[in-house]
Structure 1
Amino acid sequence: MESETPEVSIDVFPYLRVYKDGTLERIAGTEVVPAGLDSETDVLSKDIVIVPETGVSARVYIPNSVHKEQKLPLVVYFHGGAFCIATVAEPKYHTSLNMLAAEAKVVVLSVDYRLAPEYPLPVAYEDSWASLQWVASRIMGDNDGQEDWLKDYVDFEQVFLAGDSAGANIAHHLALKIKDSDLDLKILGIGMIHPYFWGTNPIGSEITDSFRKGLVDNWWLFVCPSDKGCDDLLINPFVDGAPDLAGLACDRVLVIVAEKDILKDRGKLYHEKLARSNWPGTVELMETEGEDHVFHIFEPNSVKSKSMVKRLASFFNQGKTPVL
């Protein structure tokens, strides 16, 4: 007798399915590649555990040509995946961050936070905050032998946050949290790639694109089943009661959007509201024409992807002290 096909209970297209027997199948973001030397970019990477109690880890990237007398900016990066798929070892992210480290001449710490639904939100934010606490502890000299690259090659006066999609959302919330915390860590800027912000009431292209709006609604309601739905403060930074954007604990923000991305209008609104707030920093906007959400992850060698990486590299290197 043939076994019956398991019946789907929740379909979070195109990311994963939950079956009625309780099993979960991730459809995307499941591939992994090891850390090591990337011959295309000459960037070296390794995996480290940063929070042993929870198993939260990170992948660190450095240009292979760096010398100990060089101190490079540190970019703490949070990957995307709607909070429910992908890891730092996902091949597309690995390729993307190799290219970023090479182009910008920075050290990248890519954080592997835990995913929903096994670890519902706000676990991803808590893990990401723990990663910043770990970075701050390196500055204080808490050396357990696992972060020699940071100790030897990082200029801790030049620390940035960055992320794409859900990762950009995480970076936003961490920068808000820092201001009222006792975390001894100065963040110079945030590179926000196609930030994942949302809301119940549609704006811009969300009004006419009901299919994709429904997808994004479904993603958020799956990872964060709160009574506020898509107006939860974690996903909608513009709703009543959301923290004031003027509280961002950084000097500069670069918001990057893509013309065909349904999240584009929220990214533009973020840029607009931040520029009009009492935040004393400088905010920039970059829009890539003719491209969709996280196109650079899927087509890293395209002209537009390389242009975007160059813009990020310039952003991270503003004010950087040249190596003599």
Structure 2
Amino acid sequence: MDSSTKPEVAYEVPPYLRVFKDGHVERLIGTDIVPPSLDIQTGVSSKDIIIIPESGLSARFYLPKLTHTHQKLPLIIYFHGGAFCISSASDPHYHRSLNSLAFHANAIAVSVNYRRVPEHPLPIAYEDSWEVLQWVASQYSKLGDGAEAWLNSHADFERVFLAGDSAGANIAHHLAMRAADKELAGGVRLLGAILVHPYFWGEEAIGVEVLDPARKAMVDKWWLYVCSSLKGNDDPLINPVAVGAPSLAGLGCKRVLVCVAEKDILRDRGRVYYEALVKSGWPGGAEIVETEGEDHVFHLFNPTCEKAVVIMKRLASFINQDKALLLLG
């Protein structure tokens, strides 16, 4: 065969990737990586840890600058976005965002590097994320002898949050649902979940989707690529309010914050999720925040703009709400 012949494209998922007939995958965005470091602007330190050596499953840990040796901090388990098929915990956008979140919230963050479609079909991303959550929970020890030093010395396992944006917010929701049925290691319980511009969808167009059929068709294609399901875009994995989906009343945490953006094609799905959660009989407290004039995950790409800073401070406030109430009381 002529070595100059270009391989044939079997499938494209714009703007994310293309898959060739010979099996190799070309990711078009979300491929840049940066190493862990000490962030000069925030004083946050980071490091990478292999969680499951057999699969290479890893996470990037973030620790803010401490004020005293025995300081205990909230713990955030974070899941990055990228439609389940691009980006990573090492992506410069996420590394910068997690430094900012750890700084503003004064919290330890664990950014999960779950495996991606198409090399690792769903539900592997969910299973990897659950494995990391369980591993983190297993570090809890009242005797202070957990294996991971940052968690052992500084994590407050009474204040554990799941968080993510886009596909990562989808993962955070499903893990919070699972945590209600399957006990976490060490008896750890989730305090809250943060869903930023969550990647939820559905077959029938709603809200802004009706006005933008071209963009809806593109998003339709994403899920049909990453998940082979007879239920299509009404699979409960992507549509948590679809007929037959588990009741949101079973969400396994006490508080939820949903963030949406006015120009995001996913906006109305986030609104519907919030409304369904409030009406479900779930005993927790839910909040929703909408950013006007912005699109999907704008805060990742323009992190220093005023609205991105507002969002980061809002996440920090949500995470530290219980501590603030305790101080006031």
- Which residue identity does 2:205 align to in structure 1? P
> Counterparts of 1:210 and 1:262 in 2: how far apart (Å)?
10
Aligned to 2:91: 90
Q: Which has the higher mean CA deviation after the structures are superposed, 122-131 or 225-234? A: 225-234
Match of 1:252 in 2: 255
Give, in whole Å, the separation in 1 of the partners of 2:108 and 2:67: 10
1:4: Cα distance to partner? 2.5
Letter in 2 for 1:76: I
Q: What's 2:155 paired with?
A: 154
CA RMSD between the two structures = 1.5
> Which segments of 5 or more consecutive residues in structure 1 lack a partner in the other structure?
none
In 2, Cα distance between equivalents of 1:232 and 1:84: 18
- Give the Cα–Cα distance (whole angstroms) in 1 for the partners of residues 307 and 25 of structure 2: 36
Q: Deviation of residue 142 (structure 1)?
A: 9.9
Match of residue 77 from structure 1: 78
Q: 1:65 is matched with which residue?
A: 66
1:275 aligns with 2:274: no
- Partner of residue 27, structure 2: 26
Letter in 1 for 2:176: A
Q: Secondary structure at the match of 1:319?
A: helix
C-alpha distance in 2, partners of 1:109/1:19? Answer: 34
Deviation digits for residues 196-243 of structure 1, max 9, x if unmatched? 000111101111211111111111111101111111110011111101
* Aligned ranges 1:306-317 → 2 under 5 Å: 306-317=309-320
Q: What is residue 132 of structure 1 aligned with on the other side?
A: 133
**Alignment pair present for 1:300 and 2:303:** yes
Cross-structure match for 2:5: 4
Distance 1:199 1:73 in 2: 34
**Whole-angstrom distance in 2 between the partners of 1:137 and 1:61:** 18
Counterpart of 2:156, as a letter, is: D
Q: Tell me the percent identity.
A: 59
Of 192, 197, 200, 2:195 maps to 192
**Matched-pair contact (CA < 8 Å) for 1:67–1:153:** no
| Paired position in structure 1 for 2:121 | 120
Distance in 2 (CA, whole Å) between partners of 1:22 and 1:14 is 19
Q: Which runs of 4+ in 1 moved over 3 A?
A: 140-145
- Give ranges in structure 2 of 5+ residues lacking alignment: none
Verify: 1:106 aligned to 2:95, yes or no: no
Shift of 1:13: 0.5
| Paired residues, number | 321
Distance 1:143 1:115, change over 3 A: farther
* Equivalent-residue separation in structure 1 for 2:244 and 2:208 (angstroms): 25
The aligned amino acid for 1:265 is D
281-290 vs 56-65, which deviates more? 56-65
In structure 2, the residue corresponding to 1:207 is in which secondary structure? Answer: helix
2:43 alignment partner in structure 1: 42
Q: Which amino acid aligns with 1:87?
A: S
- Per-residue deviation, residues 75-122 of structure 1 (Å, max 9, x unmatched): 000000000001100000000010111111000011110000000000
Distance in 2, Cα, partners of 1:218 & 1:83: 13
Query: Which amino acid letter does the alignment assign opposite residue 79 of structure 2?
Result: F
Q: Could you tell me the TM-score, scaled by structure 2's length?
A: 0.94
Output the amino acid matched with 1:77. Answer: Y
Aligned to 1:286: 289
- Cα separation, partners in 2 of 1:142 and 1:166, compared to 1, 3 Å: farther
What is the distance in 1 between the residues matched to 2:129 and 2:48?
16
1:174 is aligned to 175
Letter in 2 for 1:291: E
Deviations 1:7-52 (A, max 9, x none): 2111110110011222210111100000010111111000001122
Larger displacement relative to structure 2 (126-135 or 48-57)? 48-57
Matched position secondary structure for 1:85? coil
Which residue identity lines up with residue 296 of structure 2 in the other structure? H
